[in-house]
Amino acid sequence: MTKVKICGINSDAAFDATVAAGADYVGFVFFERSPRFITGPQAAALSARQVGGPQRVGLFVKPDAAFVQAVLAEVKLDFLQIYGDAALCAEMTRVTGLPVWRAVGIATPGDLPGAVVAETGFIIEAAAPKDATRPGGNAMTFDWSVLAGWQAPAPWLLGGGLRADNVAQAINISGAPGVDVSSGVETSPGVKSAVLIRQFIAAAKS
């Protein structure tokens, strides 16, 4: 069954809805430019609302080791989602001992990863526009057909512009084993909807 990650969780209601709807992963964003940014203590308080349940993923953008270690001192995470190159992912794995997913923006088939350095998996999404203030979370889709037949070197999730009304099509075209959503389950930037979360997970897992 398709794995589902709900990213950018920043409220009690969003966390509870994500857990209740059966998500596999819940994502916390530790990047200040994002409207979904939260601190380590805020993430810890949210995570403490449910023992077990979805695995916790921390999203970081080109972080230094000290910052990641400071967050991990405040909240337990199961995975790191890193925006940065393979060398940075290797450093994060070495420093933290945690599995790392590398986020990769796709503009052409040549952008698809062909091998792993230290990554446990990948988040595959549209390449960010040149004027974007964030490397991901820009609600952009891309041509999912470029993924058909891709021999992925590690497990991966498809992200970017997914919603309840297009996620099934995206999975069918791309062959994605999992999906990652943030803005597609929001009523405004950073504001999650319990209804949209339930609809998205149901559509992805059906």
pLDDT 10s digits, 157-180:
999 999 999 999 999 999 999 999
Angstrom distance (rounded) from CA 165 to CA 169: 8
* Angle 165-110-113 from CA coordinates, rounded to 5°: 80
Copy the structure tokens of residue 84: 């940065």
pTM of the complete model beyond 0.85: yes
Whole domain around residue 160: which residue ranges?
3-205
**Which one-letter DSSP state was computed for residue 152?**
-
Q: Which CATH number characterizes residue 166's domain?
A: 3.20.20.70
What phi and psi values does residue 76 have, to the nearest 5 degrees? -80, 130
Q: For the residues 189-204, what does the mean pLDDT come to? A: 98
Q: What percent of the chain has pLDDT over 90?
A: 90
What phi and psi values does residue 130 have, to the nearest 5 degrees? -60, -30
Q: What is the pLDDT of residues 5-29, one digit of tens each?
A: 999 999 999 999 999 999 999 999 9
Q: Considering its fold, how many domains does the chain have in total?
A: 1
